[in-house]
Structure 1
Amino acid sequence: MGSSLHYCSSVLLLICLLQLASCCDYFKGSWVIDTSYPLYDSLSCPFIDKEFSCQKNGRPDSQYLHYRWKPTGCDLPRFDGEDFLRRNRGKRIMFVGDSLSRNQWKSLTCLLHSAVPHANFTIETQEEENLSTFTVPEYEITVMLSRNVYLVDVVKEKIGRVLKLDSIEEGDKAWKGLDALIFNTWHWWNRRGPSQPFDYIEVGNNTYKDMDRLTAFEIALNTWATWVDTNIDPTKTRVFFQGISPSHYNGTGWNEPDVMNCRGQKLPLSGTTYPGGLPVALTVLKKVLSKMSKSVYLLDVTELSLLRKDGHPSIYGFGEMDCSHWCLPGVPDTWNQLLYNALL
């Protein structure tokens, strides 16, 4: 009788552990103070761009540096730079997207530098190809950044610059033969005026002066998804999507309607849910990913980043109000912590 009860208890314990593991969502949780963070010192990382280096640019507060992402029901394993380098020895990893991809790429270079500070590192930029390359020769690892803000092509033609929603020739040349790809796009889709890098939008044989940008975003994502389904061998290449990195330009999103932007924000939001809800672009992204035949891992960073209204450079970047990018050290370090655990 006793051995039978012991067996039943062991089985029940195993079931509980399996259920706990299956229900632990790394992307649902809250931010907690942890004085062992940040994982590196911005003053000792030689790779941080000026626009992300909030401490060097005079940001006076420092509590934003000491937050750790705590998933509900489990702990997110700490980023281990040496382990990352060992496991990815000889591999080629590429971030593809806009300046938010650059934000994450720069974060990863600092995380790896702090883990093995005496290793040899090189960074090279090929401006004509919009490609930056970070290498650690000792580990034969290459981590690249390919700037491609829409993922689909923008082509100069007689009528002007044309955003081709169903063409991906530029990416087709750059994205093949890699061990991991981390994609991102969204922030440029609503640009208008002088900062808009196209004059027309083309779909098939139809050319438009403009169209609904969320619709254009979805068409482009479907073009990208078709490319991945057609060209990627998941046994050789892991594919990730960074998710939608949010901005904090309007305090109504966090129930402070009198707050105009992120300037002066020193604390993250408490709890696990952002009051203003999630952006529609995330719904579109998840819809496209759900229809794909190849596996793409969504680094669903949107809500955890929405909770960090304190994490932006504000005036401590280029001097202009920046509530889109993130200070380093900061939130992108957690994105890379999530990427590290996904790669495991």
Structure 2
Amino acid sequence: MGSGSKALLLFRLSLFLLLLQHSPTQGEDLNANANSNRSRSLASNCNWFRGKWVYDSSYPLYNPSKCPFIEAEFDCQKYGRPDTNYLKYRWQPFSCSLPRFNGVYFLSKWRGKKIMFVGDSLSLNQFQSLTCMIQAWVPNSKISYIKRDGLTSVSFLDYNVEILLYRTPFLVDVVNERFGRVLKLDSIRGGDIWKGMDMLIFNTWHWWTHTGSSQPFDYIEDGGKTWKDMNRMIAFYKGLTTWARWVNRDVNPSKTKVFFQGISPTHYEGKDWNQPTQSCSAQTQPFFGMRYPAGTPMAWVVVKKVFSRIKKPVYLLDVTGLSQYRKDAHPSAYSGLRGGTDCSHWCLPGLPDTWNQILYAALFS
């Protein structure tokens, strides 16, 4: 057996053992083993990520028709979704309650600061959610809204708060070489743009699984070697490790708070919640069981493994478990952007608002 095969076998074995050692209850925080004096420990010793969805007639937190930042792919009400109950669910942790989001307080505390989301279209989902949540509190505030190729910014000018989105689906680089597009697992030159921010919220995962015509690279490179393809979970691990090295090397914790969005689940296969003939299409209620049948995604385990080696404070928004319950919260057919059924992204208002409520709790509790 060659050294490459041995390394692959050892990696798979280590992930398997890690999963056996840590079979989490639904929504359990990935950071349970982190040092208590680091910012990745849970605020006020409350686990925001374990709880249940409850109906709340006061929801949603904003009117989508009055938010200028929601794009067609997430605007489910505008594009004909007939039901509205999915808008009315609030996340209720078992051991505490999330603080009510206050956009004025958020802006006041982050006056003069820059916040950047970095990642793929799930980062776009969360970015648009946060800007809508804030804008609902200051509807008459002066706003600058700029969209460029790969970079979008919303500035609340009365508070000098700028919220940006930098689109990079892998975090690591994809480079056009003479022989094709190369995903470089050990290169993160795009990180220069992230420096100087006061808050960074990272995300990556979904694009690592794309194949065929939807795959945005032709080759994978790591350590000076190039492959036509490799096990995508291993590629994800290597790429995320490069990101972790960037955090350890280039983040100044006294200047910049760092968050990682976690693994956002999909609901294309109803067998994940014991309804094998269904998908997210026509789902109108969350999954209400205590334990999601599909269990923990392997990508979650990779994130945990990488996080165990990060020396700088990084707070994990461990949205996987609470989001797995929300099979009802996807655009499905009610998206203005594409045909087919979208069980990857989330309607707005909707689930990403809860991600931002937890972000708010982590910042201010």
* TM-score of the two chains, using structure 1 as the length reference: 0.91
Secondary structure of 1:244's match?
coil
Secondary structure of 1:27's match?
coil
Alpha-carbon contact 1:85-1:139 (below 8 Å) kept: yes
Partner of 2:167: 147
Partner of 2:359: 339
Partner of 1:255: 274
| Alpha-carbon distance between aligned partners in 2 of 1:76 and 1:273, rounded to the nearest angstrom | 21
| Alpha-carbon distance between aligned partners in 2 of 1:82 and 1:22, rounded to the nearest angstrom | 23
Partner of 1:281: 299
Does the alignment pair 1:265 with 2:283?
yes
| Alpha-carbon distance between aligned partners in 2 of 1:170 and 1:231, rounded to the nearest angstrom | 12
* Bigger relative CO (Cα 8 Å, ≥ 6 apart): 2
| Alpha-carbon distance between aligned partners in 1 of 2:247 and 2:131, rounded to the nearest angstrom | 26
Which of residues 86, 92, 95 is equivalent to 1:64?
86
Q: CA deviation at 1:320?
A: 2.1
| Alpha-carbon distance between aligned partners in 1 of 2:216 and 2:288, rounded to the nearest angstrom | 38
Which of residues 185, 191, 211 is equivalent to 2:204?
185
| Alpha-carbon distance between aligned partners in 2 of 1:40 and 1:327, rounded to the nearest angstrom | 13
Secondary structure of 1:43's match?
helix
Q: CA deviation at 1:24?
A: 2.8
> What one-letter code is carried by the residue in structure 1 that aligns with 2:292?
Y
Aligned-pair identity (%) = 57
**1:15-164 equivalence runs, <5 A:** 24-127=46-149, 130-164=150-184
Q: Which runs of 5+ in 2 are unaligned?
A: 1-42
Which of residues 169, 172, 179 is equivalent to 2:189?
169
| Alpha-carbon distance between aligned partners in 1 of 2:144 and 2:339, rounded to the nearest angstrom | 29
Q: CA deviation at 1:22?
A: 5.9
Give 4+ residue runs of structure 1 displaced > 4 Å after superposition. Answer: none
Q: CA deviation at 1:193?
A: 1.1
Bigger drift between 40-49 and 50-59 goes to: 40-49
Partner of 1:217: 236
> What one-letter code is carried by the residue in structure 1 that aligns with 2:107?
L
Does the alignment pair 1:294 with 2:312?
yes
Q: CA deviation at 1:258?
A: 1.9
Provide Cα deviations, 1:110-135, integer angstroms capped at 9, x if missing partner.
Answer: 101101001011211221xx110110
Looking at CA atoms only, which structure, 1 or 2, has the larger radius of gyration?
Answer: 1
C-alpha RMSD of matched pairs (Å): 1.2
Provide Cα deviations, 1:213-247, integer angstroms capped at 9, x if missing partner.
Answer: 00000000110000100011111100000000010
| Alpha-carbon distance between aligned partners in 1 of 2:289 and 2:100, rounded to the nearest angstrom | 21
| Alpha-carbon distance between aligned partners in 1 of 2:160 and 2:45, rounded to the nearest angstrom | 37
**1:225-240 equivalence runs, <5 A:** 225-240=244-259
Q: CA deviation at 1:170?
A: 1.6
Alpha-carbon contact 1:312-1:324 (below 8 Å) kept: yes
> What one-letter code is carried by the residue in structure 1 that aligns with 2:160?
E
| Alpha-carbon distance between aligned partners in 2 of 1:235 and 1:115, rounded to the nearest angstrom | 29
**1:9-20 equivalence runs, <5 A:** none
Q: Which runs of 5+ in 1 are unaligned?
A: 1-20
| Alpha-carbon distance between aligned partners in 1 of 2:291 and 2:361, rounded to the nearest angstrom | 23
| Alpha-carbon distance between aligned partners in 2 of 1:271 and 1:254, rounded to the nearest angstrom | 9
Partner of 2:344: 324
Secondary structure of 2:208's match?
coil
| Alpha-carbon distance between aligned partners in 2 of 1:110 and 1:319, rounded to the nearest angstrom | 25
| Alpha-carbon distance between aligned partners in 1 of 2:140 and 2:121, rounded to the nearest angstrom | 28
* TM-score of the two chains, using structure 2 as the length reference: 0.86
Bigger drift between 28-37 and 313-322 goes to: 313-322
Q: CA deviation at 1:272?
A: 3.9
Which of residues 264, 278, 297 is equivalent to 1:245?
264
Alpha-carbon contact 1:180-1:237 (below 8 Å) kept: yes
